[in-house]
Amino acid sequence: MKLRMVFKISSIRGRARKVAPAALAVAVAAAALAPFPAAAQVQPPASPPPAAPLPPPPPAGVPALPPAGAPGGPAMDLPPERDMPSTALPRETAIENPLGREPAVSGTAVGGYGELTLNAPSNAPAIIDMRRFVLFVGHNFSDRLRFYSEVEVEHAISSAEDAGEVEIEQAYLDGLVSRRFNLRAGLLLMPVGIINVYHEPPTFNGVDRPEVDTLIIPSTWREPGIGIFGELTTGLSYQLFLVNGFNAEGFTAETAVADGHQEAMLAHARNFGAVGRLTYEPTLATVVGVSGYYASSGHTLPSNVGSVPVGLWEVDARTRWRGFTARAEFAMLFIGDTAALNAELAMAMPPPSLPVASRSQGGYLEAGYDLLRLIAPATDQSLTLFGRYDYVNTQAAVAAGLTPDDAFIRHVVTAGLVYRPIPQIAVKGDYRRHEFGAGPGYNELAAALAWMF
């Protein structure tokens, strides 16, 4: 008797693999229970069994379940937003991760991403930094319940004496109901803009993220929340969540609300609001999105400050056609009760950069072309030459009686190359020119090695 062991290998994200012990157990049991064949007995070939009748189709609007014996996993399969680098990896967006392009499997998968960067500004020392290293762990409890998480290490070392951090970037549960309606709860990425959702370094051009995605939209922005998501019709997806608010004591003139997100770390729980996003893909690899956010902000300041409401709206578009790519994004941020807030923050020791603006805004335009389309059109590699213009003003409007700081009006022009031998690896190099509403500008060279798996 020959014993044959069968292993089943599946993937959820980044070709993360797992062994299916059930397949091994079945193989071993079948081999052990099989009778020994008679030595001189020849059996006539058996006729094939009659085919089983096909089950009736499910009612309209109800997702089909897999046939008996088929691998487990959600039967729902929404198309991903296809403007990203061509890759078979399921994306970690609120839509594509739970209803991805690959069939889900029961079990656990591991993946990750990271980047090593070099920044050399003309007005400061050059710095090499292991900017981030992230591990992803996902688990499918069943074809309707799954878990997703990311743990991030920033700047290589985390200790009381070092600048690095270890943080939970995402940790949430999904309850999958149908294509149009699904549930999510946990520590969530805010569905605002492009980069805050598609933030893995190989997926965007340039060493650094656009200014609007760090100062107006404080990526990577995540808060505890609960809500719903799905695809209303082909190409039209939505996300809507009830989420925790900011901490107003972290607001500044320089970074607006970027230092005020609480990230579920002993957060003020009495202040909350809502965030929502719609995306529409009218044609293949062309996506238009709009996002909105409104919430009150917690603090321990005197009661005359109030709840400090924060509102944000954003619109973006991106497209990919043959070797050409383009992106555009614009966002506006509004903070209420800034007169009282600035008065109280001015008494802090040391005081933050002030005044906190009642309105901040920013956006960018980017275009690129894959040069290997001209040299080797059949290759899967890419060499993207791109240019980008960034504008951010965190002092666009201030309360009466306060003077805006024009040094926080920023203009950045970037030109660079991104080489991707495979879609999951990127080698980046770029040049940037920084200009400000007041004060001298400077030049910067930057490079990065980025990966995801």
- Secondary structure letter of residue 5 according to DSSP: -
Task: Report the length, in residues, of the chain.
Answer: 453
Predicted confidence at residue 187, as pLDDT, reads 96
> 3-state DSSP: the chain helix, strand, coil percent, rounded to 5?
10, 45, 50
User: What value does the CA radius of gyration of the chain take, rounded to a whole number of Å?
Assistant: 26
CA distances from residue 360 to 151, 216, 219, 331 in whole angstroms, order as listed: 31, 7, 16, 8
pLDDT tens-place string over residues 339-371: 999 999 998 878 889 999 999 999 999 999 999
Token representation of residue 133: 């290293």
pLDDT above 90 (res 239): yes
The alpha-helical segments, DSSP class H, found in 75-172 are none
Per-residue model confidence (pLDDT) at position 343: 92
Reported confidence tier of residue 164, pLDDT bands at 50, 70, 90: confident
Question: pLDDT at position 217, please?
Answer: 97
The domain locations on the chain are: 1-34, 107-452
**238 within 8 A of 229, measured Cβ to Cβ:** yes
The DSSP bridge pattern shows strands 165-176 and 107-121 to be unpaired
**Over residues 315-342, mean pLDDT:** 96
C-alpha 39/C-alpha 311 separation (Å) is: 82
pLDDT of 407-444, one tens digit each? 999 999 999 999 999 999 999 999 999 999 999 999 99
pLDDT at 11: 39
pLDDT of residue 99: 45
Closest CA to 78 of 90, 61, 62, 66: 90
User: Average pLDDT of the chain?
Assistant: 81
Per-residue confidence band for 106, with pLDDT thresholds at 50, 70 and 90: low
Tokens of 289: 């999105």
Amino acid at 307: S
pLDDT of residue 440: 96
Q: Tell me, what's the pLDDT at 24?
A: 35
Alpha-carbon gap, residue 88 to 96, rounded angstroms: 12
Distance CA(92)–CA(111), nearest Å, equals 11
Q: What's the Cα-to-Cα distance from 140 to each of 75, 318, 432, 436, rounded to whole Å?
A: 13, 31, 43, 49
Quote the CA–CA distance of 443 and 412 in Å, as a whole number.
Answer: 10
Give yes or no for residue 403 having a pLDDT over 50: yes
> Can you give the pLDDT at residue 101?
41
34-38, 109-113, 190-194: range with lowest mean pLDDT? 34-38
* Residue 142 CB-half CA count within 13 A: 6
Between strands 107-121 and 442-452, the pairing is antiparallel
Beta-ladder partners of 272: 244
> For residue 370, how far is the Cα from the chain centroid?
24
Q: Is the pLDDT of residue 126 over 60?
A: yes
pTM of the prediction? 0.77
For residue 42, how far is the Cα from the chain centroid? 62
| DSSP-derived 3-state class of residue 234 | coil
Non-local (6+) Cβ contacts of 86 within 8 A are 380, 423
Instruction: Give the Cβ contact number of residue 36 at 10 Å.
Output: 6
Alpha-helix residue ranges (DSSP H) falling in 202-302: 212-215
Task: Tell whether the model's pLDDT for residue 384 goes beyond 50.
Answer: yes
Tens of pLDDT, residues 271-310 = 899 999 999 999 988 999 999 999 999 888 888 888 899 9
Q: Domain 107-452: give its CATH superfamily.
A: Porin (2.40.160.10)
| Three-state helix/strand/coil letters over 47-98 | CCCCCCCCCCCCCCCCCCCCCCCCCCCCCCCCCCCCCCCCCCCCCCCCCCCC
Average the pLDDT over 199-203 and give the result.
Answer: 93
Between 176 and 46, name the one with better pLDDT.
Answer: 176
- State the average pLDDT over residues 193-206: 94
Of 197, 109, 202, give the one whose Cα is nearest residue 149: 109
**Most confident stretch, 14-18, 122-126, 135-139:** 122-126
